[in-house]
Amino acid sequence: MQVRPRLSIVIPAFNEAARICGSLEAVVRHFARSGEDVEVVVVDDGCTDATVETVARFAAERPPQGRVTIGVLRNGRNRGKGYSVKHGVLMARGDLVLISDADFSTPIDDLPLLLQAVEKEGYGIAIGSRALEDSRVEIRQAAWREMMGRGFNRLVRLLTGLHFRDTQCGFKLVLRQEVLPLFRAARVERFAYDVEILYLARKAGVRVREVPVRWRNAEGTKVRAWADSFDMLKDTVRIVLRDRLGRYGRLGGEPARADRKA
């Protein structure tokens, strides 16, 4: 069996047969020269297309280079991006976990920016951001998505008191040991999962750094304009209510401490 990787890459995937191979190729290329052990975990979120077969074929046919292993984790049915990321992070074996959308709109080459924050500056979480002065948005999202993104982030700041400019960028790096209690407590299964993790991070005292990254928006988004925006807002309100009602309990309680000793 492969030695425990330093880095796991969790990719939530819902019907990504058309977009996933280019992403996996870029990942393999990125690590080809480094020789480090990297584990890619594609989380099959109840795909009804050929995502799983496509990933399996890629993993089987890829000429061995570097030490990247590629596996698929299955949700059994469609549960949502948040559930998929949680499933992936809980099962990942690396000390560091990169969470990325299947289309890698933020290229893997920007990983060192996040590593700098977590490995060198001591943050538990580094989140890619498209909304900071130094962010490099080279291919923009559709105007309605940008507007929705800005509006949603404003509401998140208002409702939660968090200060981030862009909670929703699909490129985040976490220190697994520090975030395990957060992901264990997390309940949001769809697109507002990021808000919940950031909210719980503040509650648990896990330090978060927002890092400006590149964004070359890939076509083929599956986010639905109205239905998903409404869900995200509803879930954000629920996060705050759940917390007020004490439902998140003591983060970093017994299981997390036991983990830390392991």
Minimal distance, residue 165 CB to ligand GDP, in Å: 16
Q: CB of 231: closest distance to ligand GDP in angstroms? A: 11
Q: Which of 8, 54, 84, 106 binds ligand GDP (CB under 6 A)?
A: 84
Q: Considering only residues 52, 62, 67, 78, which one is a binding residue for ligand GDP as defined by CB under 6 A?
A: 78
**The one among 45, 166, 210, 235 contacting ligand GDP by CB under 6 A:** 45
Sole binder of ligand GDP in the list 124, 128, 170, 212 (CB under 6 A): 170
Residue recorded with tokens 């960028």: 169
Tell me how far, at minimum, the Cβ of 252 lies from Mg ion, in Å.
32
Please identify which residue in 9, 10, 102, 108 interacts with ligand GDP, judged by CB under 6 A: 102
Which partner in Mg ion, ligand GDP, none is near 41 (CB below 5 to 8 A by kind)?
none
Q: Say how far apart CA 63 and CA 126 lie, in whole Å.
A: 32
220 forms beta bridges with none
Q: Are 242 and 187 in contact (CB under 8 A)?
A: yes
**Residues 73, 98: Cα–Cα separation, whole Å:** 16
Q: How many residues does the chain have?
A: 262
CA 36 from chain centre, in angstroms, equals 21
> Binding of Mg ion at residue 103 (CB under 5 A)?
yes
What distance in Å separates the CA atoms of residue 62 and residue 121, rounded to the nearest whole number? Answer: 35
Tell the smallest beta-carbon distance from residue 170 to ligand GDP (Å). Answer: 6
Bridge-based pairing state of the strands 171-175 and 96-100: antiparallel
Q: What is the dihedral of CA 54, 213, 67, 176, to 10 degrees?
A: -100
Pairing of strands 37-44, 171-175: unpaired
Q: Which is nearer to ligand GDP, 14 or 152 (CB)?
A: 14
- Footprint on this chain of ligand GDP (rule: CB under 6 A): 12-14, 16, 45, 78, 80-81, 84, 101-103, 105, 170, 221-223
- Footprint on this chain of Mg ion (rule: CB under 5 A): 101, 103, 105
